[in-house]
Amino acid sequence: EADLQTWFKGIEITELPKKVGLILAGNIPLVGFHDVLSVLATGNIALIKLSSSDDKLLPAVLRELCKIEPALEGQVVYVERLKDFEAVIATGSNNTSRYFDYYFGKVPNIIRKNRTSVAVLTGQETQEEIAQLGHDLFDYFGLGCRNVSKIYVPENYEIKNFFEPIEQYNDIINHFKYNNNYDYNKSIYLVNSAKHFDNGFLLLKEDEGFSSPLAVLYYQSYHDIKKVEQVLTEQAENLQCIVSKANLNIPTGILQFGESQHPKLWDYADNVDTIKFLNSL
């Protein structure tokens, strides 16, 4: 409640509601709720194109919200195809973003592409901090853009110092879809003789990339943390969160371990202020 009151202080309720098309992602439950809430809070009308992967929970939540405040019912419209919209907020992949640019480029828009998150370890982390990092890795099975998909570790880092504290998350392997991905990626690495570490439920593979497959965590060693800062600064448009206790000089906000999937209402995706955008319509 306190966060809502703080958030609402910066919101202007329009007297001329606009129809805002929302193309929602479905990679994790309720991932599009913040966009819907932002449209409703500013007094605009949400034209909601649900993801087929998240088409039950969000309508259920909004039904309860409308029971609390029946006046909101007129601001919630579900659509199969967007039309008669005056602005758009669309979330998709790097590929779909090109289509979004083409179709929605003539109206005010926020178009989101693929992003992921990384953690930078110094080697001085406590076991509790690494255990908290497990939430950043495994919450929602690692499917969110705020989930950590890569870690940077100092040279000669002892991998057991990472594996031991996250052992408490080992029951994730009992989910058959996660297990299938784990088995598949493991077999690929073994067939290709690709160097990797394996603790029985997570594969740790050295890679310069950022977006690791499900059940895989990329890692990269560093000698000079300043070079890590440079890479993360260059990749800022592809990163959602940085998790670290290091004092990094980078444009992306730095979060403490375990916080990546606990954003505040004012922690806007891609660092684009949704409320400011809606208030400008």
Which two structure tokens, joined as six digits, stand for 152?
A: 């940077």
- Dump pLDDT digits (tens) for 230-280: 999 999 999 999 999 999 999 888 999 999 999 999 999 999 999 999 999
162: which 2 tokens?
């990472």
Instruction: Please give the average per-residue pLDDT across 74-93, as a whole number.
Output: 96
Distance CA 115, CA 95 (A): 13
Distance of alpha carbon 270 from alpha carbon 110, whole angstroms? 10
49 backbone φψ class: left, alpha, beta (φ>0; ψ -120 to 50) = beta
Fold of the domain built from segment(s) 116-255 = Aldehyde Dehydrogenase; Chain A, domain 2 (3.40.309)
pLDDT, residue 5, reads 92
Q: pLDDT tens across 187-205, in order?
A: 999 999 999 999 999 999 9
Q: Considering only CA atoms, which of 205, 258, 208 is closest in space to residue 232?
A: 208
Q: Where are the domains of the chain?
A: 2-114, 116-255
CB 92, CB 24: distance < 8 Å? no
User: 203 and 178 in contact (C-beta within 8 Å)?
Assistant: no
Tokens of 279: 């208030």
The answer to whether residues 118 and 52 touch, using CB atoms and an 8 Å cutoff, is no
d(CA 173, CA 238): 28
pLDDT reported for residue 251 = 84
Name the class of domain 2-114. alpha beta
